[in-house]
Each structure stands twice: as C-alpha cells, then as structure tokens.
C-alpha cells in the first residue's frame, strides 16, 4: 500500500504541482506587498485616500438612509493586482518556457532528416530493387550456386597453416 503511495507522490506531475503551489503562495505574498506598500500609497496620494479600497468610493442612497457604497477603487486594485501577476507570470515563466520549447524543437528538427526525404539505407535498397527488376529474367528453374573463385575467402578460420 505504501509503495503505491510512494510511486504516486514521486511522479513528476505531483511534485511539479506541489512546487507550483509553494511558489504561487510566495509570489502572491510578493505581489500583495508591492500593491500594499508601493502602489496603494501612490494611488492614495493621487486620490487623497489611504488605499485603493477607500479611493473612488461612490455612495448611492438607499431606502434605509445609510446608502450603499460602490468601491471602484477596490475593483481597480484587484484588476491592477491581476495585471501585475499576469505580466510577471508571462515574462518569468511562459515566455522563457516557450523559447526553450522552440529551441528544443529546432534542435530536434535539425538532428532528424526531413521525413519526406527517404533514409540513405532506404534509398540504397530501392536502387538495388530497381537494378534487380531491370536485370533480364533467367529461366524459371533455380540456378546452381556459382563456385567461389580463388580471390574470395572460404569458410574456416581464415588462418594459413604453417
């Protein structure tokens, strides 16, 4: 039972997913810090508010007399956070991975011959086939093997006695 669990955990996809979750959590903390400590004060100075959450607030009168608040600043802050996260993910992860994939594909294609072009062995075999087909046909009786000439080695160890 533990062996199956160990195999499941050690699969590449599970480990990659775990790493992605940890990096994502750390990355979220960094983005939240940038938004809270850098962007919110700048926006607050422009709109004279403490943060985006309190900037661009529109109060609509309601029946109970208190009014409902529409917080455009909070929505703007969420969109800004999303844009920052999307840009960083694209430029730090997606773009380099796509570049690496393109390079690997180019290397793979450079290492392999064109699939439309036959292999050299296939070309040679095709030529031999064509030569055999072009040779005049002999009688349909099987021919006797030709005896070896003095130049060709005969079976044996190939050593000279002596």
Concatenated DSSP letters of 54-121: TSSEEEE--TTSS-EEEEHHHHHHHHHHHHHHHHHHIIIIIHHHHHHHHHHHHHHHHHSPPTTSPPHH
Domains and CATH numbers, the chain: 8-111 (1.10.1200.120)
**133-143: per-residue pLDDT in tens?**
998 877 655 55
User: Are 95 and 84 a contacting pair, CB within 8 Å?
Assistant: no
| Mean predicted lDDT score pLDDT of the chain | 77
For the chain, 162 residues long, the average pLDDT of each consecutive 10-residue run is: 74 76 85 81 78 80 83 85 83 87 87 63 86 80 60 54 49
User: Are 59 and 67 a contacting pair, CB within 8 Å?
Assistant: yes
Q: What is the pTM of this model?
A: 0.48
The pLDDT score that the predictor gives to residue 102 is 92
**C-alpha pair distances (Å), 31 with each of 37, 94, 95:** 10, 18, 19
Helix axes 12-34, 2-9, angle to 10 degrees: 50
């Amino acid at each position: 039972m533990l062996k199956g669990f160990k195999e499941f955990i050690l699969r590449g996809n599970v480990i990659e997913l775990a790493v992605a979750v940890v990096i994502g959590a750390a990355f979220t903390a960094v983005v939240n810090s940038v938004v809270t400590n850098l962007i919110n004060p700048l926006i607050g100075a422009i709109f004279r508010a403490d943060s985006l959450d309190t900037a661009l607030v529109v109060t609509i009168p309601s029946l109970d007399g208190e009014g409902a608040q529409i917080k455009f600043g909070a929505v703007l802050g969420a969109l800004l956070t999303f844009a920052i996260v999307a840009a960083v993910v694209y430029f730090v992860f997606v773009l380099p991975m796509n570049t690496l994939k393109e390079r690997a594909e180019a290397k793979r294609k450079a290492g392999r011959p064109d699939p439309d072009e036959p292999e050299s062995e296939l070309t040679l075999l095709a030529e031999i086939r064509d030569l055999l087909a072009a040779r005049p046909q002999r009688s349909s009786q099987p021919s006797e093997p030709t005896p070896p000439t003095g130049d060709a080695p005969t079976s044996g160890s190939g050593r000279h006695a002596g």
